[in-house]
Amino acid sequence: MKLDTETLYQILKRHMGPQKWWPAKSKIEIILGAILVQNTNWRNAAYAIGALEQETQLEPHHILNLKLEDLQLLIKSSGFYKNKSQTIVSLLNWLSQHDFNYEKIAEIYGSDLRKTLLSIKGIGSETADVLIVYIFGGIEFIPDSYTRRIYRLLGYEHTEQYDKLKRQIKLPKSFTNQDANELHALLDNFGKNYFNGKMENRYTFLDTYFEND
């Protein structure tokens, strides 16, 4: 029998405690980070955020007032900077239409919010789900690359693609936004700590970490 998501969540939470995610000082920093970290590591995304902060104080309208070439240069460390700059501009322009009132946006779009985010050029499934959970206070399962590896080793099928695994996993009806936040953070941090190329080969997955459960 596969370990279900609720049980996995409780085990991770018991062993690892609150993760206090997303690691950012403001929602605009979370938004930028969610875009800039695509197809790169967090260090490269953080360099880009730092450059943007130095130039614009991460004030959305200051970012939108940048020339596109200047924005591209500032975020170059994150890779795919031409596409990412266009995504940043498109998303910030959309948010500005609603005066960056995230609660109001969630209220207006409701269950159509994910579909609306996906219609913005450059926003894919993972970025949309991150924004829903960490910006708009919603509840979504975020099967990023670490999470898919974890679920594969737990015996789940169709873990090779984000949307395929997402369709399989139903979060408990009792889940709150904070639960969705913590689940993603716990899975991501567990993956970073344990998928180092050695643990998988030396130990049966989860055995040493959860041996007392």
Cα–Cα distance between 15 and 104 in angstroms, integer?
Answer: 36
Residues 170-179 pLDDT 10s = 999 999 999 9
For the chain, the straight-line distance linking the first and the last C-alpha, in angstroms and rounded, comes to: 16
Reduced to 3 states (helix: H, G, I; strand: E, B; else coil), residue 126 is: helix
Query: How many residues are present in the chain?
Result: 213
Domain spans of the chain? Answer: 5-20+140-202, 27-134
Dihedral sign for Cα 5, 179, 35, 39, please: negative
Alpha helices, DSSP H, located in the chain: 5-16, 27-36, 42-56, 60-64, 68-74, 81-96, 102-109, 113-118, 125-134, 145-153, 162-168, 177-194, 199-202
Rg (CA), the chain: 18
Q: What is the pTM of this model?
A: 0.91
Which CATH number is 27-134's, of 1.10.357.10, 3.40.50.12780, 3.40.50.1970, 1.10.340.30? 1.10.340.30
pLDDT mean over 120-146: 97
The answer, yes or no, to whether residue 190 has pLDDT greater than 80, is yes
Q: Is the dihedral of CA 118, 120, 126, 128 positive or negative?
A: negative
Residues 74-98 have pLDDT tens digits of 999 999 999 999 999 999 999 999 9
Q: How far apart are CA 27 and CA 30, in angstroms?
A: 5
pLDDT given at position 210: 58
In 97-154, where does DSSP find H-type helix?
102-109, 113-118, 125-134, 145-153
